[in-house]
Amino acid sequence: MAEALQQLEIDDLSAEAEQFIRELDSETYLHFSGQKETYDLPPIYERHERLTRLDTALALGASVDGERRRRELWKFACEGYLGNFVKEEASKVAELEATLTARVGDEEVPYRMLRPRIMNESDRGERAQLEALRNDLTEQHLNALHLHAAEVVHTETTRLGAANYADLYRGFAFRLDDLAAQCRTFLADTESLWEEAGDRIYRARLGLGLGEVERWDVARALRGAEWDAAFPRKTMLPALEATLGDLGVDLGAQKNVELDLEERPNKDPRAFCSPIDVPGRVVLVIKPQGGPDDWRALFHEAGHTEHFAHTSPSLSMEERRLGDNAVTEGWAMLLEHLTIDPVWLERRLDFSRPYEFAAEGATFLLLIVRRYCAKLLYELEFHTADEPTALRPRYVELLADATKVAPSPTDYLADMDGGFYASEYLRAWAFEAQLRSYLRERFGNAWFSRREAGSLLRELWAEGQKPTADELLQDVAGETLDLAAVGDRVREALAAA
Ligand SMILES: [Zn+2]
């Protein structure tokens, strides 16, 4: 049994953890924004060796009291301990993803561009071929690294005093079993809804019924190319600025927010947010392409950006940088889903069939939430199994059951999020659905155009991640977080079309 630490030692570790996070976020920003080909995690881990040691994690574990701050720091140290064993694999995977290419005709297409290529390819046969090329690269170069990392994490978790990875997170107060039960209920309750709405949308977007769709068609349908004209590249940022302006936020005047819009060949095509210092320096990175999918990604990342940028500097490190990530994901979803809100679409864009588009957006929200329900159920099985490779067919089975389209077995390792992040997304979707209906009741359907709604949001953003998503929702709306709210939200949008 490790000895509990003194408060001064804990404060010292906490300050070092903040520096550690700052360096990790800064490296992530440089690599994924295309400013640095390598992704050098090992030297960062070496500089903060103290936070990766087993004795530090165990001593922090022994120091956990009723206070959430200490539990958060203990969780961080456990993740540092595990991350230290797989930092080489993580660096290697990122570097390979940045440098591998596939030969398509007489062109070399970078690995990270294969997915966007599939989304933008209107020919089915070409899409199937691109997907096969991507799977080959994943299988040949990446899966051995993913597998080794999974095995090491599996073994090392027991040294932290947990029977397995799922138990470790239960110890961090992740209510995984309660959420898994909600997922099973959600999957059962929305099964026929998805079968009908899914069939309708695939027919509308691809001319294929749900039974005919293959996995390489799904990304193409999600892309929503037929709506591109309504979501032009050049109005993305102005629409974001105007929306934030209505809420009382002047994006251009925020000194702690940087927009990285530069074109770089290796820049990741997906928008992302790097909260290098919270709230001191938050970077929103985008490579604007236009189209509904790109708009959604921009608004999602802007939600994170504003949450971190408004976080009160007087909060503790644990409340600003750690805590419940369902909170920041919830704020991200709230802004993201404006782009499928018919009232917002009518107001902000020159949009002729907003209710039809909103219904399609809600249908894909249903798909994604069903997919994540299956992912969480899969991860719970994966992390309690003795032999990870045995879970490959289970991945296909669980995801196919939820989405009605079989995924590639190749992705059974890469399609997992560390730290049960899938559970944070699921709770964030519930949070968004419930908070949105509260905002509409209190401020009207155009709540996003009301300055008072903006004042409320800014007040809540200032709390950082001190409260959990459950506590925030309880405080504001007097409700308990419940995934069923997502089903109601989807049904409402479908009925309005
Ligand atoms: Zn996010």
CA of 58 to the centre of ligand 1 (A): 30
Surrounding ion ligand 1 within 5 Å at CB are: 329, 332
Distance between CA 315 and CA 320 in Å, rounded?
6
| pLDDT at position 163 | 94
CA of 56 to the centre of ligand 1 (A): 30
160 touches 2 (CB < 8 A): no
CA of 161 to the centre of ligand 1 (A): 30
34 touches 269 (CB < 8 A): no
| pLDDT at position 180 | 98
CA of 331 to the centre of ligand 1 (A): 9
CA of 255 to the centre of ligand 1 (A): 22
Q: Which two tokens stand for residue 349?
A: 């864009």
Q: What is the pLDDT along the chain (497 residues), one digit of tens a residue?
A: 688 889 999 999 999 999 999 999 999 999 999 999 888 999 999 999 999 999 999 999 999 988 899 999 999 999 999 999 998 998 899 889 988 999 998 999 999 889 989 999 999 999 999 999 999 999 999 999 999 999 999 999 999 999 999 999 999 999 999 999 999 999 999 999 999 999 999 999 999 999 999 999 999 999 888 999 999 999 999 999 999 999 999 999 999 999 999 989 888 888 999 999 999 999 999 988 899 999 999 999 999 999 999 999 999 999 999 999 999 999 999 999 999 999 999 998 888 899 999 999 999 999 999 999 999 999 999 999 989 999 999 999 999 999 999 999 999 999 999 999 999 999 999 999 999 999 999 999 999 999 999 999 999 999 999 999 999 999 999 999 999 999 999 999 999 98
| pLDDT at position 1 | 65
Burial readout 7-40 (b: 16 or more C-beta within 10 A, e: otherwise): eeebeebbebbbebbbbbbbbbbbbbbbeeeebb
CA of 332 to the centre of ligand 1 (A): 6
Distance between CA 50 and CA 17 in Å, rounded?
10
CA of 329 to the centre of ligand 1 (A): 5
Domain spans in the chain, listed from the N-terminal domain onward: 7-172, 178-496
Whole-prediction pTM value?
0.95
The letter for the amino acid at 232 is P
Q: Count the alpha carbons within 13 Å of 103 in the hemisphere toward its beta carbon.
A: 2
CA of 308 to the centre of ligand 1 (A): 12
Q: Which two tokens stand for residue 491?
A: 């049904």
State in words which class domain 178-496 has: mainly alpha
Q: Which two tokens stand for residue 144?
A: 């051995």
Distance between CA 20 and CA 6 in Å, rounded?
21
To the nearest 10 degrees (0 to 180), the angle between helices 421-443 and 176-189 is 70
Distance between CA 175 and CA 172 in Å, rounded?
9
DSSP 138: I
| pLDDT at position 207 | 95
